[in-house]
Protein backbone atom coordinates (compact mmCIF):
# COMPACT_ATOMS: atom_id res chain seq x y z
CA UNK A 1 0.00 0.00 0.00
CA UNK A 2 1.25 3.42 -0.93
CA UNK A 3 1.28 5.93 1.90
CA UNK A 4 -0.97 8.87 1.17
CA UNK A 5 0.10 12.38 1.76
CA UNK A 6 -1.92 14.50 4.03
CA UNK A 7 -4.16 16.86 2.11
CA UNK A 8 -2.58 20.29 1.83
CA UNK A 9 -4.92 23.17 2.27
CA UNK A 10 -5.70 24.97 -0.97
CA UNK A 11 -4.66 28.63 -0.96
CA UNK A 12 -7.26 31.06 -2.13
CA UNK A 13 -5.61 33.57 -4.48
CA UNK A 14 -8.62 35.85 -4.81
CA UNK A 15 -7.87 39.45 -3.82
CA UNK A 16 -4.09 39.14 -3.95
CA UNK A 17 -3.85 41.76 -6.71
CA UNK A 18 -5.93 44.32 -4.80
CA UNK A 19 -3.05 45.62 -2.59
CA UNK A 20 -0.89 46.06 -5.69
CA UNK A 21 -3.62 48.02 -7.50
CA UNK A 22 -4.23 50.20 -4.45
CA UNK A 23 -0.49 50.89 -4.14
CA UNK A 24 -0.19 51.85 -7.81
CA UNK A 25 -3.23 54.17 -7.57
CA UNK A 26 -1.76 55.89 -4.50
CA UNK A 27 1.60 56.39 -6.26
CA UNK A 28 -0.05 57.74 -9.42
CA UNK A 29 -2.20 60.15 -7.40
CA UNK A 30 0.85 61.37 -5.49
CA UNK A 31 2.73 61.94 -8.75
CA UNK A 32 -0.23 63.82 -10.26
CA UNK A 33 -0.42 66.00 -7.17
CA UNK A 34 3.27 66.87 -7.27
CA UNK A 35 3.32 67.46 -11.03
CA UNK A 36 0.24 69.70 -10.86
CA UNK A 37 1.62 71.82 -8.02
CA UNK A 38 5.07 72.14 -9.58
CA UNK A 39 3.50 73.12 -12.91
CA UNK A 40 1.41 75.83 -11.27
CA UNK A 41 4.48 77.16 -9.44
CA UNK A 42 6.53 77.14 -12.66
CA UNK A 43 3.87 78.98 -14.66
CA UNK A 44 3.29 81.58 -11.93
CA UNK A 45 7.04 82.17 -11.62
CA UNK A 46 7.37 82.53 -15.39
CA UNK A 47 4.47 84.99 -15.52
CA UNK A 48 6.00 87.02 -12.70
CA UNK A 49 9.40 86.98 -14.43
CA UNK A 50 7.88 88.18 -17.71
CA UNK A 51 6.10 91.01 -15.89
CA UNK A 52 9.28 92.10 -14.11
CA UNK A 53 11.30 91.88 -17.35
CA UNK A 54 8.80 94.14 -19.10
CA UNK A 55 8.79 96.61 -16.23
CA UNK A 56 12.59 96.78 -16.26
CA UNK A 57 12.60 97.41 -20.01
CA UNK A 58 9.93 100.10 -19.65
CA UNK A 59 12.00 101.77 -16.95
CA UNK A 60 15.19 101.57 -19.02
CA UNK A 61 13.52 103.61 -21.75
CA UNK A 62 13.12 106.61 -19.44
CA UNK A 63 16.35 108.25 -20.53
CA UNK A 64 17.41 111.67 -19.32
CA UNK A 65 17.05 113.52 -22.62
CA UNK A 66 18.92 116.75 -21.81
CA UNK A 67 22.42 115.17 -22.15
CA UNK A 68 21.34 113.32 -25.28
CA UNK A 69 20.19 116.55 -26.97
CA UNK A 70 23.23 118.52 -25.89
CA UNK A 71 25.99 115.95 -26.54
CA UNK A 72 24.46 113.18 -28.63
CA UNK A 73 23.68 109.60 -27.84
CA UNK A 74 26.70 107.37 -27.28
CA UNK A 75 27.75 104.81 -24.68
CA UNK A 76 25.54 104.35 -21.66
CA UNK A 77 22.61 106.73 -21.56
CA UNK A 78 21.81 108.26 -18.18
CA UNK A 79 18.42 107.47 -16.73
CA UNK A 80 16.02 109.93 -15.16
CA UNK A 81 15.06 108.22 -11.83
CA UNK A 82 11.64 109.88 -11.39
CA UNK A 83 10.75 109.08 -15.00
CA UNK A 84 11.95 105.48 -14.49
CA UNK A 85 9.71 105.07 -11.45
CA UNK A 86 6.75 106.54 -13.32
CA UNK A 87 7.34 104.31 -16.35
CA UNK A 88 7.58 101.19 -14.17
CA UNK A 89 4.39 102.10 -12.28
CA UNK A 90 2.56 102.80 -15.55
CA UNK A 91 3.72 99.49 -17.04
CA UNK A 92 2.76 97.49 -13.95
CA UNK A 93 -0.69 99.08 -13.82
CA UNK A 94 -1.31 98.41 -17.52
CA UNK A 95 -0.07 94.83 -17.94
CA UNK A 96 -2.86 92.24 -17.56
CA UNK A 97 -0.67 89.58 -15.93
CA UNK A 98 -0.45 91.66 -12.74
CA UNK A 99 -4.16 91.17 -12.15
CA UNK A 100 -3.68 87.40 -12.48
CA UNK A 101 -0.80 87.32 -9.99
CA UNK A 102 -2.21 87.13 -6.47
CA UNK A 103 -0.58 89.58 -4.08
CA UNK A 104 1.73 91.09 -6.71
CA UNK A 105 4.05 93.65 -5.18
CA UNK A 106 7.18 95.45 -6.31
CA UNK A 107 9.65 94.94 -3.48
CA UNK A 108 12.63 96.81 -4.92
CA UNK A 109 13.26 99.35 -7.65
CA UNK A 110 16.86 100.48 -7.97
CA UNK A 111 18.00 103.00 -10.55
CA UNK A 112 21.72 103.43 -11.15
CA UNK A 113 23.18 105.74 -13.76
CA UNK A 114 22.26 103.47 -16.68
CA UNK A 115 20.69 100.37 -15.09
CA UNK A 116 17.23 99.62 -13.74
CA UNK A 117 16.86 96.67 -11.36
CA UNK A 118 13.43 95.50 -10.25
CA UNK A 119 12.41 92.79 -7.80
CA UNK A 120 8.82 91.68 -7.29
CA UNK A 121 6.91 88.98 -5.49
CA UNK A 122 3.56 87.31 -5.78
CA UNK A 123 1.74 84.43 -4.18
CA UNK A 124 1.23 81.29 -6.23
CA UNK A 125 -1.62 79.06 -5.16
CA UNK A 126 -0.91 75.48 -6.18
CA UNK A 127 -4.15 73.54 -5.70
CA UNK A 128 -2.98 70.73 -3.46
CA UNK A 129 -0.29 72.52 -1.46
CA UNK A 130 -2.60 75.47 -0.82
CA UNK A 131 -5.25 73.06 0.42
CA UNK A 132 -2.76 71.55 2.88
CA UNK A 133 -1.21 74.71 4.31
CA UNK A 134 -4.08 77.15 3.74
CA UNK A 135 -1.75 79.62 2.06
CA UNK A 136 0.10 79.94 -1.18
CA UNK A 137 3.77 79.87 -1.99
CA UNK A 138 5.65 83.13 -2.44
CA UNK A 139 7.50 83.41 -5.75
CA UNK A 140 10.11 86.07 -6.38
CA UNK A 141 11.56 87.42 -9.62
CA UNK A 142 14.24 89.98 -10.42
CA UNK A 143 15.22 91.69 -13.66
CA UNK A 144 17.70 94.32 -14.79
CA UNK A 145 17.83 96.40 -17.93
CA UNK A 146 20.68 98.64 -19.07
CA UNK A 147 20.66 101.47 -21.55
CA UNK A 148 23.47 101.79 -24.05
CA UNK A 149 24.00 102.97 -27.58
CA UNK A 150 26.63 101.28 -29.69
DSSP letters, 13-41, are -TTSSHHHHHHHHHHHHHHHHHHHHHHHH
pLDDT band at 130, cuts 50/70/90?
confident
For the chain, domain boundaries: 32-146
pLDDT band at 51, cuts 50/70/90?
very high
- Look at residue 6 and tell me whether its pLDDT is greater than 70: no
Q: Highest mean pLDDT range out of 14-18, 64-68, 144-148?
A: 144-148
Tell me how far apart the alpha carbons of residues 150 and 135 are, in angstroms, rounded to a whole number: 48
Q: Residue 7 has what pLDDT?
A: 61
Q: What percent of the chain has pLDDT over 90?
A: 45
Whole-prediction pTM value? 0.76
Amino acid sequence: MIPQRPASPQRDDRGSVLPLVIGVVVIVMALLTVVTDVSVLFLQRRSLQATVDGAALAGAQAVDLAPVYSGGAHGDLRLDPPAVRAAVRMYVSAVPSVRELVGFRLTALRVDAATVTIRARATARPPFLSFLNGQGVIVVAEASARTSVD
